[in-house]
Structure 1
């Protein structure tokens, strides 16, 4: 060890002096390093290359690195514990003189990684894998010297595991994505009204089970496995149990502990929060916090929730006044239950600190507290909505905060809400932007006290996680890592194309295609399609075809394209010669449709309150879309809480496009007979217009999810039609119904539409 330290001390200055004489070139690394110098030449590796660890604690990282190199190159590197004068080495070691997340990567005759700790060494390994270059005759890394560290220490992604169930493979895949782009934390939202996914032996009824009997909670062994899986990659998991609100599972299933029982019905009272006025509740919550601290031992934080708290029902409990009087909560006794809420947060903060960790809460309390209770200043606040508390107020009063603004860092699948990466790249740490027009944008000049930022991904099905995050996580990483030099999106995107290609080879090494698809974007076919599955690396492919979502338990070996004639889910996985999976399963849903519309999707804004002028709007996509059917409706509703009805519903969703946008649908319809026709138009958070034969028939004027009615006379015949639609923020829903005057029920507009040839 002493020899290694002396050797590097002599070597590093020589390398940097030599590199200063060469030109600095662009390199494909995200986030962009602070300091780097590129030299001529390549360090080539082969099966004789060794990864040398100069500290035993780095051995797991060395084995992880060998696995990644093997996946993309087929080379098997050995791990050694002793340094030798062999030039064909990748050396991992520590340098105590470096800062907390600082590392140095030097590639010349050897590869040297020096880091302050295990996590920063893992980040250096991610940089190394982004640099790997594979050609037909060699595998290697460009000669380069990098000295790097992040601008902001809190770089995080939150995953909502409580609204929709996520298999272990999805959580592991997101951990690998975070490692690859140097995101430090994975925040797991483990509980909400629908599910409590953290197992507690003391409260077994919290273990939620699906309608089909399948488990929708994680075992302790699974969570402990995830903690170690993340630790080996330099990622730390932060657990969250959302309290006191978002807690229906607690107060409804164990009202004697977390809630209150109605003596008249002997059923749980609807509180919307756990019972903060009962000692039994606090004892049970402390048990939960202690268990979280034990399982997630690597995390410096525990997140206790603290947002969207409805307090009126708790004031009506008989124990409310007794508890508030005992605790000296005068404002709460006078009716201001926010004082009890703030007392609750502080009391839980004390429990968290007893475990040796720090408390994080969502922005949810007002000002700095309520009544005589001031929120403890050692609590970190994630500011997301800015309506409960202004970030400047929190900073001025001594709180440390984290930015998770709606635009661009909130991703809400049930809202089809995922601001695009280019918008995200223009964001700055002091910026908060809301999707609601009447909430003002915030731009803080001083960033002092802002620890960093977080992508918060809510209400998503497991299959949407990587689809959305793989384009957005690298943007967050770059803006928090090297903020001053993150100014050119075009340059960033060029680098992203390269890193994304490497990521796919490592973790998504399968591509699924279909023949006879209707559009370039989206997997829609009319009659039948042949499925073609290809690998991005060496190995053999297995696949499964099903009409249900989920990861299959059995696969078939893929040898040639196969034909399908019905909608369904294709799952494909790459395996090596020893039958070990390479990367993760890749899934693609293929939808059979009856084409009836030509469509064009246009760019719009959240601020717009009318249908955009399509003649001046940027065209995002065009193609053909189909008639609503039961299979497609089921797929739409799978992602929603507020389900859409089939009656009159028109498909206005397009894979990979997120709100807001404008839509134009064109086609022909057949009026069956002369007469007066009544039309019912309904949108939710959008507007629509229907033109028939060039004439405006229906003009929507409200965003309130209320039907609007119109009556027009028609002659029998075939007419061209145009639908203009604008979808703004939350619920993407367009419904058009019709009936001839004198008829009873309304009919779906699409019954009139003539199929496209």
Structure 2
């Protein structure tokens, strides 16, 4: 120390200015360290409450020094109390969880994956996401005790399986939990990496933060075998009426992954705007996007498709035609009734617009659109061609269309316009098949074209899948099932999540009011709609049409209502929403924990006092 002081004196005498600067920096550093120490947040006091499992419900009890050693926190109590495993969506097959937990280190999570170098980046992304989810459990806490056993996660996957994510990808998994003297072990076995991903998602829900002991705990022993009831479990988002940033779409897909929804149906264009950037036809975006920044480029779409793949979600592109087309097409002279007024005579909402099937050059443009979409969306194994809300009045307002039809010997009656529609669909499908190089399944909305006697004349049931948007009780649904068509259910009376808000083309409420609560979504059963044809229901989608929503209100419109759909489609339980309520409240907290702005369902008091809020009917 004396030598250091002597050296400092000699240095300062030689260069006083530098010496002063160094001294000041040292003093600032010392002061900063003192401030950090003084302002360091002390470990929080333990909560005032502990929980006991009584009659299959977690009951709040006082926490004090006499019982703190054996006290159970609410998250731990909910792991084992009652007959239902606290996983959302509810698993479908074998469930065995021994009622004990083991303390694990957040820093001690290790993965052991198959040696498949070609998909190492996919495995790494899946593992990183899991690590982030565990981090989120303690992100808003202080004083975490990072002590306990290492968590070893072992994956076993059929290495000969297809690593593409497709409509019929095997999503089964088996999760086994055990422990040794110094390790907690989670083994996940699956046919595919996507089944393994689902198993990892379930594991994340069996790890909780114990706020009494300020530590992470995982179920010590147990086993879950699980697989989905329905293959097609989706959400539809319309990004034409209002624009949504790619970041908000990624957040939507993050939430979908938490509940094992596997299809993001992207209704990317409509008559309101054309945000899809096409190299072959840049004018569509130039004149159709709201601003040059509110667009989806090829790069951003490919990035989103890969982001979704990591989360077990397929992106299903839709190009809706021949109706719902307008902005962006101004320079092509290929539309009818574009922005025509009064709009209610030509379409269901402004602005109006439909493609003109009589223009020969139209099909060359459609082929270009299909080619670029097929490329952007990584050669999807299924495509949505729309077909929604075609107006014969729109086509009949075009002198060009009238002359073309009369020249072919047709009349101008409804059946003739349906034939014009069939003519369009045949030519559009031929161009899509040319692009794809194979005959993929095609989805179309219910419409006049899907009704008797037209549907089996124009739409081959071996090729076309019909997406139902009418009510579940509509007799036309049974007509389609009797004819042998496969269906995707999106009945608006239970699955249109934009319903129940104020009108925007008139006063009062919007057309499909009232608001649809999560309870109605949960109790909407595709198998009941199917009747005696359950095998023809591929699954279901909840839809969010964006007239009155944008990225700033996206989360609360979808969540947690979409989670109710997820459980209905994954396990299709025989019980009603009432049985699921306490799990739903915990699940909503999990969504928020992961950065999803899910709507609050009840006061937090109801979360902490299980089953004390719902009305108990007399005699129950």
Tell me whether the two structures share a fold, i.e. TM-score over 0.5: yes
2:273–2:290 Cα contact (<8 Å) kept: no
> Which secondary structure state, in structure 1, belongs to the residue aligned with residue 533 of structure 2?
coil
1:410–1:418 Cα contact (<8 Å) kept: no
The superposition leaves residues 36-93 of structure 1 with CA deviations (integer Å, 9 ceiling, x where unpaired) of: 1112433543213311111433332122222222232469xxxxxxxxxx97411123
> Which secondary structure state, in structure 2, belongs to the residue aligned with residue 112 of structure 1?
strand
> Which secondary structure state, in structure 2, belongs to the residue aligned with residue 249 of structure 1?
coil
Q: Does 1:31 align with 2:89?
A: yes
Partner of 1:516: none
1:181–1:477 Cα contact (<8 Å) kept: yes
Match of 1:68 among 126, 129, 133: 133
2:316–2:383 Cα contact (<8 Å) kept: yes
Classify 1:367/1:138 alpha carbon distance in 2 versus 1 (closer, same or farther; 3 Å).
same
- For 1:388 and 1:479, locate their aligned partners in 2 and report how far apart those are by CA, in whole Å: 21
Classify 1:205/1:487 alpha carbon distance in 2 versus 1 (closer, same or farther; 3 Å).
same
- For 1:132 and 1:468, locate their aligned partners in 2 and report how far apart those are by CA, in whole Å: 28
Q: Does 1:52 align with 2:112?
A: yes
Match of 2:317 among 231, 235, 239: 239
Q: How many residues align?
A: 466
Partner of 2:541: 454
- For 1:372 and 1:113, locate their aligned partners in 2 and report how far apart those are by CA, in whole Å: 45
Question: Any gaps of 5 or more consecutive residues in structure 1?
Answer: 1-21, 76-85, 262-269, 433-442, 513-519, 522-617, 619-757
2:138–2:209 Cα contact (<8 Å) kept: yes
Question: Any gaps of 5 or more consecutive residues in structure 2?
Answer: 1-79, 141-148, 162-168, 180-184, 339-350, 504-509, 605-616
1:132–1:139 Cα contact (<8 Å) kept: yes
- For 1:140 and 1:164, locate their aligned partners in 2 and report how far apart those are by CA, in whole Å: 43
Partner of 1:104: 174
- For 1:325 and 1:180, locate their aligned partners in 2 and report how far apart those are by CA, in whole Å: 55
2:591–2:598 Cα contact (<8 Å) kept: no
1:163–1:194 Cα contact (<8 Å) kept: yes
2:469–2:492 Cα contact (<8 Å) kept: yes
Task: Select the structure that is richer in strand.
Answer: 1
The superposition leaves residues 618-660 of structure 1 with CA deviations (integer Å, 9 ceiling, x where unpaired) of: 9xxxxxxxxxxxxxxxxxxxxxxxxxxxxxxxxxxxxxxxxxx
Match of 1:130 among 205, 221, 241: 205
The structure whose RCO (Cα within 8 Å, separation 6+) is larger is: 2
Deviation, 1:349, is: 3.0
Deviation, 1:395, is: 1.6
Deviation, 1:273, is: 1.1
The superposition leaves residues 305-360 of structure 1 with CA deviations (integer Å, 9 ceiling, x where unpaired) of: 1011012343565664786699x896779971101212322333333344143211
Partner of 1:273: 354
The 5-angstrom pairing of residues 714-753 of structure 1 reads: none
Partner of 1:91: 154
Partner of 1:749: none
Classify 1:272/1:123 alpha carbon distance in 2 versus 1 (closer, same or farther; 3 Å).
same
Q: Does 1:141 align with 2:141?
A: no
Partner of 2:588: 500
Q: Does 1:407 align with 2:493?
A: yes
Deviation, 1:201, is: 2.6
Task: Select the structure that is richer in helix.
Answer: 2
Q: Does 1:166 align with 2:231?
A: no
The 5-angstrom pairing of residues 10-29 of structure 1 reads: 25-29=83-87
- For 1:91 and 1:61, locate their aligned partners in 2 and report how far apart those are by CA, in whole Å: 13
Partner of 1:382: 467
Classify 1:212/1:40 alpha carbon distance in 2 versus 1 (closer, same or farther; 3 Å).
closer
1:51–1:90 Cα contact (<8 Å) kept: yes
Deviation, 1:418, is: 3.5
Match of 1:282 among 363, 369, 375: 363
> What RMSD over aligned residues (CA atoms) do the two structures have, in Å?
3.8
> Which secondary structure state, in structure 2, belongs to the residue aligned with residue 49 of structure 1?
strand
1:23–1:38 Cα contact (<8 Å) kept: no
The 5-angstrom pairing of residues 175-574 of structure 1 reads: 175-207=253-285, 215-251=293-329, 253-258=330-335, 272-297=353-378, 299-315=380-396, 320=401, 336-354=416-434, 355=436, 356=438, 357-364=440-447, 365-367=449-451, 370=454, 373-377=457-461, 378-385=463-470, 390-412=476-498, 415=510, 418-430=515-527, 444-459=531-546, 460-483=549-572, 485-508=573-596
Classify 1:331/1:401 alpha carbon distance in 2 versus 1 (closer, same or farther; 3 Å).
farther
Classify 1:39/1:24 alpha carbon distance in 2 versus 1 (closer, same or farther; 3 Å).
farther
Deviation, 1:477, is: 1.1
2:209–2:217 Cα contact (<8 Å) kept: yes
- For 2:424 and 2:205, locate their aligned partners in 1 and report how far apart those are by CA, in whole Å: 46
- For 1:367 and 1:511, locate their aligned partners in 2 and report how far apart those are by CA, in whole Å: 38
1:227–1:298 Cα contact (<8 Å) kept: no
Deviation, 1:368, is: 5.1
Classify 1:509/1:292 alpha carbon distance in 2 versus 1 (closer, same or farther; 3 Å).
closer
> Which secondary structure state, in structure 2, belongs to the residue aligned with residue 45 of structure 1?
strand
2:318–2:383 Cα contact (<8 Å) kept: yes
2:557–2:599 Cα contact (<8 Å) kept: no
